[in-house]
């Protein structure tokens, strides 16, 4: 019987779909069915500043929205791939909406591999996904993270240019936005490892084998920055939600305040923040190494972040 893989994904610009296609570009002997999550209320691209920052509370508090009905082929799947992206350090609204919908019942009893297409901050999102997978009775067998290798501030600038102007290509002073083309082109090594694990009935070793091929790379400083970020987002999301839901006019003043503070935090306080993170890394080397190890792996610990 051929190997059957179901890919459930969302991709706004097509970057993540392109990544997944490359992961499976050399696994010709298996059958892959794709199932795209489509939100009923579409997210505009390019974004406006208002629509972009207005998403934060619903992302962070994991408030689902309606998605179009999903129909899965009636097959026995060896593995389900969940392809997703973080938005505001949390699973994107379309992915969270799927995970909380009746369609997520498909995950019950399934072996799941997550493929993340991010800027570089995905830790909290993955913790939330791990938690839901456990609730849905699925077993997480592997995780592969694609991220932008540029320095943090450069990747923020290029993602802003991409999100608000739709320009992904390199411009005079800034590189191309998103995951590097070279990393996407080399992604097929992961597909071969996945197929080998399924065919050899060795999914227990899968994540270890993926890690050997650098499926997850993580610097300790990013753990510190992400922890600080999500703590602030949690507070601000409640403050904004107290004035209404996504799109409501009454909350826009608070959304604007959030966007301004975030921009100050990122561009003005960022050098200080990066410096204090570096000092913390030096002082807490051992405990941070243990945290990096945890986030690179697929086990789940409540409130790890």
Ligand X SMILES: Cc1cc2nc3c(=O)[nH]c(=O)nc-3n(C[C@H](O)[C@H](O)[C@H](O)COP(=O)(O)O)c2cc1C
Sites of contact with ligand X (CB under 6 A): 11-13, 15-16, 52, 55, 85-89, 117-122, 159, 163
Which residue's CB is nearer to ligand X, number 48 or number 212?
A: 48
Residue number with CB closer to ligand X (41 or 208) = 41
Closest CA to 107 of 208, 198, 207, 35: 35
Query: Considering the complex, what minimum distance in angstroms separates the CB of residue 163 from ligand X?
Result: 5
The residue among 172, 157, 189, 281 whose CA lies nearest residue 227 is 281
Residues ≥6 apart with Cβ < 8 Å to 141: 79, 111, 112, 113, 197, 203, 206, 207, 298
Q: Which residues contact 248 (CB under 8 A, 6 or more apart)?
A: none
CB of 155 to ligand X, least distance (A): 8
Q: What minimum distance in Å lies between the beta carbon of 242 and ligand X?
A: 21
Between 196 and 296, CB nearer to ligand X: 296
Three-class DSSP category at 8? strand
Half-sphere exposure of 262 (CA within 13 A, CB side): 22
Measured between alpha carbons, how far is residue 162 from residues 70, 135, 155, 184 in Å? Answer: 29, 35, 10, 18
Nearer to ligand X, 96 or 118 (CB): 118
CB of 203 to ligand X, least distance (A): 26
Collapse the DSSP code of 144 into the 3-class scheme (helix H, G, I; strand E, B; otherwise coil) and give the result: strand
Task: For the chain, count helices (H), then strands (E).
Answer: 13, 7
Min. distance of Cβ 183 from ligand X in angstroms? 12
Helix (H, G, I), strand (E, B) or coil at 157: helix
Burial of 279 (0-12, 13-18, 19+ CB in 10 A): exposed
Residue nearer to ligand X on the CB measure, 87 or 111: 87
Nearer to ligand X, 77 or 88 (CB): 88
Cβ nearer to ligand X, comparing 121 with 197: 121
Taking the complex as a whole, the smallest distance from the CB of residue 85 to ligand X amounts, in Å, to 3
Give the span between the Cα atoms of 138 and 114, in whole angstroms: 12
Nearest CA-CA partner of 92 in 169, 133, 39, 171: 39
Minimum separation from the CB atom of position 78 to ligand X (A): 25
In the bound state with ligand X, the residue whose beta carbon lies nearer, of 15 and 97, is 15
Please, what is the minimum distance in Å from the beta carbon of residue 234 to ligand X? 13
Rounded Cα distance, 47 and 52, in Å = 6
């Amino acid at each position: 019987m051929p190997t059957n893989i179901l890919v459930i994904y969302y991709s706004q610009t097509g970057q993540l779909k392109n990544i997944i296609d490359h992961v499976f570009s050399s696994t010709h002997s298996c059958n892959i069915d794709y199932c795209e999550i489509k939100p009923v209320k579409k997210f505009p691209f390019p974004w406006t500043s208002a629509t972009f920052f207005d998403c934060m509370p619903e992302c962070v508090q994991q408030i689902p929205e309606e998605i179009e009905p999903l129909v899965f082929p009636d097959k026995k799947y060896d593995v389900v791939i969940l392809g997703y992206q973080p938005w505001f350090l949390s699973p994107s609204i379309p992915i969270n909406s799927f995970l909380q919908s009746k369609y997520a019942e498909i995950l019950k009893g399934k072996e799941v591999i997550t493929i993340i297409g991010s800027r570089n901050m995905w830790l909290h999102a993955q913790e939330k996904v791990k938690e839901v997978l456990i609730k849905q009775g699925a077993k997480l067998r592997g995780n592969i993270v694609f991220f932008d290798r540029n320095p943090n501030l450069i990747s923020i600038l290029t993602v802003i240019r991409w999100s608000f102007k739709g320009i992904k290509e390199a411009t005079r002073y800034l590189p191309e936005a998103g995951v590097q083309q070279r990393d996407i082109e080399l992604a097929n090594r992961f597909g071969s490892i996945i197929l080998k694990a399924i065919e050899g009935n060795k999914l227990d070793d899968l994540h270890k084998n993926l890690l050997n091929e650098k499926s997850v790379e993580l610097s300790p400083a990013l753990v510190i920055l992400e922890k600080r970020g999500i703590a602030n987002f949690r507070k601000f999301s409640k403050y904004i939600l107290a004035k209404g839901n996504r799109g409501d006019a009454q909350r826009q003043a608070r959304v604007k305040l959030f966007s301004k503070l975030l921009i100050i935090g990122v561009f003005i306080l960022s050098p200080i923040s990066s410096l204090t993170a570096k000092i913390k890394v030096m002082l807490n080397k051992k405990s941070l190494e243990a945290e990096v190890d945890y986030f690179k792996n697929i086990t789940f610990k409540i409130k790890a972040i």
